[in-house]
């Protein structure tokens, strides 16, 4: 293993699966040894496809990506208490997401609200968080109607695919309409529309990240496997500046792009390709945020839907959904290039990895 691996802590892995199956796993991660050990398996959450740990580390929230919840239409959100020390989860309560197939959840920096993107519902919802970590019923549900994109097979309707907080603004990516919508939270309970950013037709915006020291954002476009650099104004408006491919030159096979993250230093950007089955590595220009593709590394599995960058940027953990394996990568922090250390856990249909309590190993 690489000598610069310095973190150990609790990992949470979300998976697709039936209500009777384990779909959330609580694990011990040791970066120096390169091991993941499962210590709790949580059932009764069908298709726990996205997880969020609140900023305090005391609660975890999961979506249940389903079309119905019992007799009610739409999916649901489940809250858990996190046991100090062990990281074990105890369910607190559930609420409806008010849209079919919730696929993304975010908790704001003040632990006041859970924000959910409902893919098939094509909408986003705000659910207040109570002092004890339980979630209250949704107080705001928004759906923006707009012309659909050019990919008729995938853009037949609005499809909210991510909801992310940056400063005072909330951003919702709509894969179906090639739009990113900007909202503000007012009175702690309402999502109020501010503006929209139109991307090129057929892009299919999926996930988005914001640079910590530049007024820039990067959106992963699922449908054409590109990344678009966006300028961020003081009023939260986004303006497209550059679009680059996340695939190597000459590749013409099937691909759906998926996840995107910046290195903690902001010098490198990583994205995942499903089909080409790779992690793309980009150098980030520190003057203007422009991207240059420098590597496509095999993810050593099929369909890398989600991945995690460790807090010091020294490692990546990649969840390959179809082959059911978690692969560890070491990162050369001087060049940004990544190197596979191999599969360190096999688990059915892993689609989300989140870090809980962690500590530096020296």
Instruction: Tell the residue number behind the tokens 């190197």, with chain if given.
Output: 339
Going by C-alpha positions, the residue among 199, 193, 190 that lies closest to residue 149 is 199
pLDDT in tens for each of the 362 residues of the chain?
A: 344 546 889 999 999 999 999 999 999 999 999 999 999 999 999 999 999 999 999 999 999 999 999 999 999 999 999 999 999 999 999 999 999 999 999 999 999 999 999 999 999 999 999 999 999 999 999 999 999 999 999 999 999 999 999 999 999 999 999 999 999 999 999 999 999 999 999 999 999 999 999 999 999 999 999 999 999 999 999 999 999 999 999 999 999 999 999 999 999 999 999 999 999 999 999 999 999 999 999 999 999 999 999 999 999 999 999 999 999 999 999 999 999 999 999 999 999 999 998 776 65
* Predicted pLDDT of residue 357: 80
User: What is the C-alpha to C-alpha distance for residues 174 and 177, in angstroms, rounded to an integer?
Assistant: 6
Distance CA 52, CA 192 (A): 23
Q: Find out whether 194 and 185 touch, Cβ atoms under 8 Å.
A: no
What pLDDT is attached to residue 3? 45
Terminal C-alpha separation, the chain: 16
Q: Are 294 and 341 in contact (CB under 8 A)?
A: no
DSSP sequence for 80-114: EEEPTTT--EEEEEEEE-SSSSEEEEEE-TTS-EE
Q: Are 112 and 188 within 8 A, CB to CB?
A: yes
Kindly list the distances between the CA atom of residue 73 and the CA atoms of 50, 65, 124, 301, 327, in Å, as whole numbers in the listed order.
Answer: 19, 12, 15, 35, 36
Q: How far apart are CA 358 and CA 53, in angstroms?
A: 12
Alpha-carbon span 123 to 117, nearest angstrom: 6
Which residue, among 72, 252, 255, 223, has the nearest Cα to 156 in the 3D structure? 223
CA torsion 277-278-279-285 (nearest 10°) is: -130
The predicted pLDDT at position 39 comes to 97
Cβ-Cβ contacts under 8 Å for 340 (sequence gap 6 or more): 297, 298, 300, 327, 328, 329
Distances (CA, A) of 352 to 50, 98, 231: 6, 22, 28
164: enclosing H helix or E strand: strand 160-166
> What strand order describes the sheet that includes 51-53?
51-53, 59-64, 76-82, 89-96
The token duo for 112 is 């006041």
Vertex 26 angle, CA 22 and 28, to 5°: 140
Region 1-42+250-362: CATH code: 2.130.10.10
* Residue whose entry in the numeric block shows the structure tokens 């959450």: 45
CA 224 and chain centroid, separation: 19
What does each C-alpha distance from 54 to 103, 134, 135, 230, 359 come to in angstroms? 17, 12, 12, 27, 17
Q: Which two tokens stand for residue 171?
A: 């951003």
pLDDT of residue 4: 55
Place of tokens 């400063």: 167
Q: Are strands 7-15 and 24-30 parallel, antiparallel or unpaired?
A: antiparallel
pLDDT of the residue at 358: 73
DSSP state of 145: -
**Of 110, 136, 115, 105, nearest in space to 55 by CA:** 110
């Amino acid at each position: 293993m690489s000598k610069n691996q310095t973190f150990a802590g609790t990992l949470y892995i979300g998976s697709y699966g039936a209500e009777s199956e384990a779909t959330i796993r609580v694990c011990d991660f040791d970066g120096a040894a390169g091991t993941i050990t499962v210590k709790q398996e949580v059932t009764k959450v069908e298709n726990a496809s996205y997880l969020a740990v609140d900023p305090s580390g005391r609660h975890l929230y999961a979506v249940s990506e389903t079309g119905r919840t019992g007799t009610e239409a739409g999916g649901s959100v489940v809250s858990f208490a996190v046991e100090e020390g062990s990281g074990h989860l105890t369910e607190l309560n559930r609420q409806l997401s008010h849209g079919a197939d919730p696929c993304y959840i975010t908790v704001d920096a003040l632990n006041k609200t859970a924000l959910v993107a409902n893919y098939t519902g094509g909408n986003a919802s705000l659910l207040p968080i109570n002092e004890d970590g339980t979630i209250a019923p949704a107080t705001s549900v928004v759906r923006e109607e707009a012309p659909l994109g050019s990919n008729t097979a995938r853009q037949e309707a609005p499809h909210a695919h991510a909801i992310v907080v940056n400063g005072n603004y909330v951003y919702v990516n709509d894969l179906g309409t090639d739009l990113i919508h900007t909202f503000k939270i007012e009175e702690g309970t309402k999502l109020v529309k501010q503006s929209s950013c139109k991307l090129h037709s057929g892009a299919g915006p999926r996930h988005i990240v914001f640079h910590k020291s530049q007024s820039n954002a990067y959106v992963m476009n699922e449908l054409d496997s590109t990344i678009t650099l966006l300028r961020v104004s003081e009023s939260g408006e986004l303006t497209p500046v550059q679009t680059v491919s996340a695939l190597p030159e000459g590749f013409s096979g099937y691909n759906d792009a998926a996840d995107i993250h910046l290195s903690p230093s902001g010098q490198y950007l990583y994205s995942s390709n499903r089909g080409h089955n790779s992690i793309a590595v980009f150098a980030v220009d520190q003057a203007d945020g422009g991207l240059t593709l420098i590597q496509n590394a095999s993810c050593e599995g099929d369909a890398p839907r989600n991945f995690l960058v460790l807090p010091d940027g020294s490692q990546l953990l990649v969840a390959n959904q179809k082959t059911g394996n978690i692969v560890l990568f070491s990162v050369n922090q001087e060049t940004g290039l990544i190197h596979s250390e191999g599969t360190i856990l096999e688990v059915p249909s892993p689609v989300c990895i989140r870090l809980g309590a962690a500590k530096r190993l020296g």
